[in-house]
């Protein structure tokens, strides 16, 4: 239960088309992450799946059944929002139980379901509190609990970690991953943070300007990007793009990840403009006359002085070739 299929889905607001024909299949039990820069349409797409936005053309199907005209409450989905969106006048218990109550589920069953979800998320002792009395992390756990209680076919997450601080974000991310393993449910997750995408996803959908740029497993996108956009978006720090012509190659641009550039070797040279020591690794930023700003990622602590000239080498089989339109040349 819980496969999702999108067929040539489009969405227009007035004359502007924001989703330009998306085809996608998410299998049952899969964790699918929509990732892209802000304004790429990922949230709109999620809201269309939820039924909060109309589909202009194309089909949304859950478990093979077309749900275009079905109200959100009848699609058997649950959604977790960035702003938590808890009902301010209800206790945690009632917040989690409301959907079942609306569906006319017997009280005992609601109690059991909320109890189980609360236990899963360590919310037992907070059940009688109101959202205003909870911290940000607790509120987000309640919002996740509210989704679990419904036993939906599809879990939808709309940037659920954006309002949390860094430590809590990592913790909640791990919790979501654990829930996915335990529940085995299909989850669609929207984020602009490629680290969240890489760590959580079975399948990543990279969107730009309402178009799917590439779909694949995290490591496939990392190791085998289709174009410069995906190559630049996935991986942190960002991939370096070098002028291939200046290196005597016949492609337009050459993409090399910061960890695959090594000091020594004379093909590329640059002047150190900044050094960031992170303890476990050192990031060296160089400006090169031929290739612009380059980032090199080195393991461990390294010492470089600003304005030092450094020669760089790379392994040819670790580099990606792109044409002038940014398409990958294989």
Partner 1 sequence: MSQARHSTARSLAAHAVLILYTAIALFPVFVVVINSFKNRRAIFADPLAVPGPESFDLVGYRTVLAQGDFVLYFQNSLIVTVASLFFVLLFGAMAAFALSEYRFRGNMLMGLYLALGIMIPIRLGTVAILQMMVASGLVNTLTALVLVYTAQGLPLAVFILSEFMRGVSDDLKNAGRIDGLSEYTIFFRLVLPLVRPAMATVAVFTMIPIWNDLWFPLILAPSEATKTVTLGSQVFIGQFVTNWNAVLAALSLAILPVLVLYLIFSRQLIRGITAGAVK
Residues that bind partner 1 (CB under 8 A): 47, 50-52, 71-74, 77-79, 81-89, 98-99, 102-103, 132, 146, 158
Compute the least distance from the CB of residue 105 to partner 1, in Å. Answer: 11
Q: Residue 66 or 74: which CB sits closer to partner 1?
A: 74
The minimum distance between CB 153 and partner 1, in angstroms, equals: 13
Q: Which is nearer to partner 1, 103 or 306 (CB)?
A: 103
Give the nearer residue to partner 1 in terms of CB position, either 88 or 248.
88
Q: How far is the CB of 82 from partner 1 (least distance, A)?
A: 7
45/263 Cα distance (integer angstroms): 44
Minimal distance, residue 182 CB to partner 1, in Å: 22
Instruction: Identify the burial level of 244 via C-beta atoms within 10 angstroms of its C-beta, where 0-12 means exposed, 13-18 middle and 19 or more buried.
Output: buried
How near is the Cβ of 279 to partner 1 at its closest, in Å? Answer: 37
The secondary structure of 4-37 as a DSSP string is EEEEEEEEEETTEEEEEEEEEEE-TT-EEEEE-S
The smaller minimum CB distance to partner 1, of residues 18 and 85, is found at 85
Instruction: Return the residue matching tokens 């607001």.
Output: 13
Residue 140 near residue 83, CB atoms below 8 Å: no
CA distance 164 to 174: 14
Nearest alpha-carbon partner for 293 in 243, 225, 221: 243
Cβ-based nearer residue to partner 1, 47 or 93: 47
**Contact criterion met (CB below 8 Å) for 10 and 20:** yes
């Amino acid at each position: 239960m819980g496969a999702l299929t999108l067929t040539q889905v489009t969405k227009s607001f007035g004359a502007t088309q924001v989703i330009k024909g998306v085809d996608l299949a998410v299998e049952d039990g899969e964790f699918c992450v929509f990732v892209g820069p802000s304004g790429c349409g990922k949230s709109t797409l999620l809201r269309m799946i939820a039924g909060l936005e109309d589909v202009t053309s194309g089909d949304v199907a859950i478990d093979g059944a077309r749900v275009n005209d079905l109200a959100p409450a009848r699609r058997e989905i649950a959604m977790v929002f960035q702003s938590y969106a808890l009902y301010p006048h209800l206790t945690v218990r009632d917040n989690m139980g409301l959907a079942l109550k609306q569906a006319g589920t017997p009280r005992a069953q609601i109690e059991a379901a909320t109890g189980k979800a609360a236990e899963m998320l360590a919310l037992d002792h907070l059940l009688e509190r109101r959202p205003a009395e909870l911290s940000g992390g607790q509120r987000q756990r309640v919002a996740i609990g509210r989704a679990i209680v419904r036993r939906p076919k599809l879990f939808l997450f709309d940037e659920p970690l954006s309002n949390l601080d860094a430590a809590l974000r990592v913790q909640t991310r791990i919790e979501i991953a654990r829930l996915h393993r335990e529940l085995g449910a299909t989850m669609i997750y929207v984020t602009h943070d490629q680290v969240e995408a890489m760590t959580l996803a079975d399948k990543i959908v990279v969107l730009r300007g309402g178009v799917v740029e590439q779909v694949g497993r995290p490591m496939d996108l990392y190791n085998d990007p289709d174009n410069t956009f995906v190559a630049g978006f996935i991986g942190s720090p960002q991939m370096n793009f070098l002028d291939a012509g200046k290196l005597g190659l016949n492609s337009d641009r050459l993409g090399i990840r910061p960890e695959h550039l090594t000091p020594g070797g004379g093909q590329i040279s640059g002047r150190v403009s900044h050094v960031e020591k992170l303890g476990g690794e050192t990031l060296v930023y160089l400006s090169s006359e031929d290739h612009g700003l380059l980032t090199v990622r080195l393991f461990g602590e390294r010492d470089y002085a600003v304005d030092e000239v450094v020669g760089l080498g790379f392994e040819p089989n670790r580099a990606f070739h792109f044409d002038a339109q940014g398409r990958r040349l294989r």
